[in-house]
Amino acid sequence: MFKDIDLRELANMKAPERAFLSLYIAGRHSMADLEKRLHKVRDMLKAGGIEKDEREHFDENVNAVMSYLGQNPLGSGSLCIFSCQALNFFKVIPLPAPVKDLVWVDSSLYIRPLAELQDEYESVAVVVADNKKARIFIVSSAVAGSEEVIKGNVKNHVKKGGWSQQRYDRRRDKQLHVYANEIVEAISKLEREEEFERILLVGSKEILQQVHQSLPRDLQNKVVEKALYLGKKEGEIHKDIMELFFEEERRSEKELWEKIRAEYLKGGLAAVGLDEVLEAAKQGRVEKMIVDRTFRPEGMRCYECNNLYGGIAELCPACSTSLHKVGIVNEIIEMLELTGAEVNFCDPIQSLTDAGQIAALLRY
């Protein structure tokens, strides 16, 4: 599961040269071209005049990867493999959600795709309920876990008239109240056992409202509520739930950007644009970052003095040593993971695009 991946531990791994191989495999169909892509990367290392020991690192890592894949053929799903034989490090991470094929050679691991998956597939609690039955479960890494079922059997509204109507309504209200409290108790128990960012309440409007009102205030703040017809097929209901999940993800992304923008416009604790965010990340000042998932600028690192720069240059301004290209957003993510900052990715938002596609709330 994505939430179990320790990005901080991975971000802390460094080598003095490009001794790490980060490999992302989209699926079984990718295996046919894998060796060809690896050969192409090695040729580029050789053609670029890279020192022999870095090519040896690459060959050792490739041998370890191919040996593993030969013994463990890829089945369904995607796969991430990290290898640094110079440090006796080898890690395989099965991925239940798709990634793009990627081969990355650097002095550290390429963790950006994992950071994107962790952000996109946060754990949520789901309550699917009508007056007859409630199902409560966690969706983590887009996979539903085991569920708890609570029987409701709340009677439908019936017009009786007079005292009979009042007695019937009182009994029905009591049933609804008891049923909602049982659901709330199950959600509270789940919260003590699991971490989740949101609670998706879907199903019958009447019971959802009763549950929402009965939740403690801290849990009410996590609720996203939507009436759904539960008479359709299970697969269609699951599709509706995931659509609601991603709708809420997009809404929260825009909300974070608007908060950063408002802070920046009043001269507050915010950084906007690559240079400002990079500098704030170096200083450990970033609390939350948002970045357009299509934003992939290049940067440069000096292996001699370890300085990091946005943009392209040949020589390090600090020590005049040759610089090496890096994925600058990945480098920022590594710094943020080590300082406990929150990393958020978003689909393109026009005002964020105009501001440089990356921004952050600051701690001080």
Q: What is the pLDDT of residues 10-64, one digit of tens each?
A: 999 998 788 999 999 999 999 989 999 999 999 888 655 555 678 899 999 999 9
Is the separation of the CB atoms in 150 and 279 below 8 Å?
no
Report the pLDDT averaged over residues 274-289. 97
Q: In what order do the strands lie in the sheet with 270-272?
A: 270-272, 358-362, 286-292, 342-346
Residues 6 or more apart whose CB falls under 8 angstroms from that of 180 comprise 207, 210, 211, 213, 214
Give the C-alpha separation, 188 to 185, whole Å.
5
- At 75, the pLDDT band (50, 70, 90 cuts) reads confident
Element (H, E) at 278: helix 274-282
Predicted TM-score of the model (pTM) = 0.84
Residues 6 or more apart whose CB falls under 8 angstroms from that of 283 comprise none
CATH architecture of the domain with residue range 1-114 = 2-Layer Sandwich (3.30)
Model confidence over 216-246: pLDDT tens digits? 999 999 999 999 888 888 889 888 988 998 9
Is the separation of the CB atoms in 112 and 327 below 8 Å?
yes
Model confidence over 88-128: pLDDT tens digits? 999 999 998 889 999 999 999 999 999 999 998 888 999 99
Both tokens of 251, joined, read 């809404």
Q: What is the pLDDT of residue 131?
A: 86
Q: Which residue has the higher pLDDT, 51 or 341?
A: 341
Give the residue extent of every domain in the chain: 1-114, 122-231, 253-364
Give the C-alpha separation, 257 to 263, whole Å.
10
Q: What is the pLDDT of residue 263?
A: 98
CATH number belonging to the domain at 122-231, selected among 3.30.43.10, 3.30.420.60, 3.10.50.40, 3.60.60.10: 3.30.420.60
Report the pLDDT averaged over residues 191-220. 92
Both tokens of 188, joined, read 């509270």
Q: Which residue has the higher pLDDT, 132 or 8?
A: 8
- Which CATH code for domain 253-364? 3.30.1330.30
Amino acid in position 108 = S
Q: What is the pLDDT of residue 272?
A: 98
Give the C-alpha separation, 110 to 105, whole Å.
8
Burial level of 235, CB count in 10 A (0-12/13-18/19+)? exposed
Q: What is the pLDDT of residue 158?
A: 46
Give the C-alpha separation, 14 to 300, whole Å.
16
Q: What is the mean pLDDT of the chain?
A: 89
